[in-house]
Amino acid sequence: MSLSQDDVKKVASLSRLALTDDELAQMQQHLGQILDYFEILKDVDTENVEPLAHAIELHNVFREDEVLESLSREEALSNAPKTDGKYFLVPEILRNDKNK
Return per-residue pLDDT of the chain as tens, 100 residues. Answer: 789 999 999 999 999 999 999 999 999 999 999 999 999 999 999 999 888 887 888 777 788 889 999 999 999 999 899 999 899 999 988 877 765 5
On the 0-12 / 13-18 / 19+ scale of CB atoms within 10 A, 70 is: exposed
Domains of the chain: 1-44 (1.10.20)
> What pTM, to 2 d.p., does this model score?
0.52
d(CA 55, CA 36): 23
